[in-house]
Structure 1
Amino acid sequence: MARLPLVKLLLGVASILSYANSANSKPTPVVLWHGMGDSCCNPDSMGQVKQTLEEELPGVYVHSIMIGNSDDDDRKASYFDQVNRQVQEVCEQLKSHSNLKDGFNAIGFSQGGQFLRAYVERCNDPPMHNLVTFGSQHGGVSEWPGCRDRNDLSCSLARSLLLRGAYLSWVQSRVVQAQYYKDAKNYETYLEKNIFLPDINNEREYKNATYATNLKSLKKFVMIMFEDDDMVVPKQSAWFGYWNEEGVVIPLRDQPLYKEDWLGLKEMDKAEKLVFETIPGRHMQIELAYLRDEIIPKYLGGKRQLVFQVDPAWN
């Protein structure tokens, strides 16, 4: 009994030292993937996110994904390209960064969310720890996203091609948004013709076990839906929700994707790895304060408080 105070003291010191080492170590790197019509280095969007992360996580390495060789190439590639090719490029891009070799957390904005999920499923080297997605189209879209800027010729051209036929091979191979379009009334055609989404959702007859294994390795998969989202239809796609043939949105937990656990989401849910959040606003209306107060501290290793409690049985 006389040794208990010494034991408590040693454990207390160990706890404090452990916390100090953790607090003094470099924050886990963060990878960003922007949405449609945006670019890696837009000072009004990804630039602000990067700056906020650097302010809240001193010393953090932030990598904002760029497709192509310039900011303009990257923005155009958000409309015109093959997503499968982009994901492979990102697999190679992230593996080449020595700062990411021990793993990273990631935030995907709109379509960047399902693209980052594809990275996890197909590559995950270096490994992703936590994935946060904002207004992503995990379940697909049934309508074409609108063009907020009428002078955006790339957006207008992509939209006109989509309206001609999303499942035409030359549209599928060129228009990014066609590659996550899902016609619930023509599901078999979607499975046959869509070159991206049915694969990463393991919807076809062949189920890729590696996809589920890799996705289940995430510590947290955070899916955020915008309350007034009128660009992603249905907005519940942010949580894998989608229409049935009668036009009713079916939640993830009521779909075969979950019940038969095609991607490991059911197992993740039971392990409390899935997080479903709703925030006010329209598509991509994100307050930086929300990042500071909710996302960074909870999922990106933000400011922590030291909590030290001695087992009351030792008192």
Structure 2
Amino acid sequence: MTLYQEIKQIMLILLATAKISYRPIVLWHGMGDSCCNPESMGKIIELLEQTLPGVYVYSIMVGEDENEDKKSGFFGNVNNQVAEVCEVLKADKQLKYGFNAIGFSQGGLFLRAYVQRCNDPPVHNLITFGSPHQGVSDIPGCEINDGLCQLMRNIARRGAYSGYVRTRVVSAQYYKDPTRLDLYKQQNIFLPDINNELEVKNATYKENLASLNTLVLIRFTEDVTLKPRDSAWFSFYDEDGELQDLYNTPLYIEDWIGLRQLDEEERLEFKEAEGAHMKFDLDFFVEEVIEPYLQDPWIPPKSAKMRLIKQGSKKEKFLRNFRTRLNILFKSFLELIAG
């Protein structure tokens, strides 16, 4: 352990003693997964709770149970699902002062939609793993033994823009045929709106996304599920089939959703994870996600109960000042050491 790591560990112990907590975390899983699968999201939740003692983690579930949640990743109206999640998160009292958000695959796209459309309570850092931000040019593949996914894929491939499919098959709602962009804008009920590609721009979408502290976009080096894999970095094919990076798109140049503002203010970050789609290891998650974006100590605003505490109480006043000063000292110290 380096001197920096030792000092950081000591400071974290001091902060824990002072009862300084971590910002809550919200997760949204990908297609074919569920909120609480012990082999996937369950491991992430466990890792977060072990690494950040006392942190509140909420894993989004759409529907009444895990089975409905998994099914909703294949079938349903994404606009309705996002609206449902907006209500659920707003009603959660433990999230009322804001949270960090992590989205996996399509869950990252849907969390971005939450930020742009609702953001109440607000998201601080948004981290997305292999998310189809610019859509997909082909319906994502399936595991051989996943019958529900195979059914979804067969239906979607028959006509992603047809009446039934476009409102009920989830992946069709971010399907983007680069050779038929006019049809895509007319018939796709979700992605053209959330990317502000329609003629009338929604200023709130840009304002809300630009309010993030940091937007982190993680791409998988060997991703063949997401086509193109660079959609995770907001890149996509032009009408000639050539991959066009974010910086050459109207989305960035005209700053339709605030990406350019985030980038120019150094709040847009691009990362790569080695391997196939969603096949990252937990060490990567700790080093590239938890440590840089989730580990900062956080003092939530005073609760209603705290406001009732007698302002003249010397003990309470001392503790409030101590926690505030310690938080500032810790952040300044880490910046000094890192520099």
Change (3 A) 1:98 1:260: same
Please tell me whether residue 261 in structure 1 is matched to residue 263 in structure 2. no
CA contact (8 A) 1:57 1:302 kept: no
Distance 1:68 1:195 in 2: 21
Please tell me whether residue 221 in structure 1 is matched to residue 215 in structure 2. yes
Distance 1:57 1:21 in 2: 10
**Counterpart amino acid of 1:231?**
T
Q: Structure 2 matches for 1:135-146, cutoff 5 A? A: 135-146=130-141
Distance 2:264 2:148 in 1: 43
Could you tell me how far 1:151 is from its partner in structure 2? 2.5
**Cross-structure match for 1:282:** 276
Q: Aligned match of 2:183 in 165, 169, 189?
A: 189
Distance 2:68 2:243 in 1: 36
Distance 1:23 1:258 in 2: 43
Distance 1:53 1:73 in 2: 25
Please tell me whether residue 162 in structure 1 is matched to residue 156 in structure 2. yes
Please tell me whether residue 94 in structure 1 is matched to residue 89 in structure 2. yes
CA contact (8 A) 1:137 1:232 kept: yes
CA contact (8 A) 1:134 1:223 kept: yes
Distance 1:200 1:49 in 2: 28
Please tell me whether residue 122 in structure 1 is matched to residue 117 in structure 2. yes
Indicate the SS of the match to 2:125. Answer: strand
Q: Structure 2 matches for 1:1-315, cutoff 5 A? A: 20=15, 24-148=19-143, 150-301=144-295, 308=333
Distance 1:187 1:302 in 2: 42
Indicate the SS of the match to 2:180. Answer: helix
**Counterpart amino acid of 1:266?**
R
Distance 1:299 1:121 in 2: 20
Deviations 1:43-78 (A, max 9, x none): 000000000000110000000000001111000000
Indicate the SS of the match to 1:143. Answer: coil
Query: Comparing 294-303 with 258-267, which one deviates more in the overlay?
Result: 294-303
Deviations 1:108-158 (A, max 9, x none): 00000010000000000000000000000001000111111x232210110
Change (3 A) 1:123 1:306: closer
**Cross-structure match for 2:323:** none
CA contact (8 A) 1:296 1:302 kept: no
Equivalent residues, number:
292
Stretches of structure 1 lacking an aligned partner (at least 5 in a row): 1-15
Distance 1:185 1:22 in 2: 59
Distance 2:286 2:162 in 1: 43
Could you tell me how far 1:24 is from its partner in structure 2? 3.1
**Counterpart amino acid of 1:285?**
K
Stretches of structure 2 lacking an aligned partner (at least 5 in a row): 1-10, 298-326
Distance 2:290 2:86 in 1: 24
Identity %: 53
Distance 1:227 1:240 in 2: 15
CA contact (8 A) 1:56 1:302 kept: no
Indicate the SS of the match to 1:278. Answer: strand
Distance 1:252 1:128 in 2: 23
| TM-score of the aligned structures, taking structure 1 as reference length | 0.89
Q: CA RMSD in A?
A: 1.9
**Cross-structure match for 2:316:** none
Indicate the SS of the match to 2:189. Answer: coil
| TM-score of the aligned structures, taking structure 2 as reference length | 0.83
Could you tell me how far 1:248 is from its partner in structure 2? 0.9
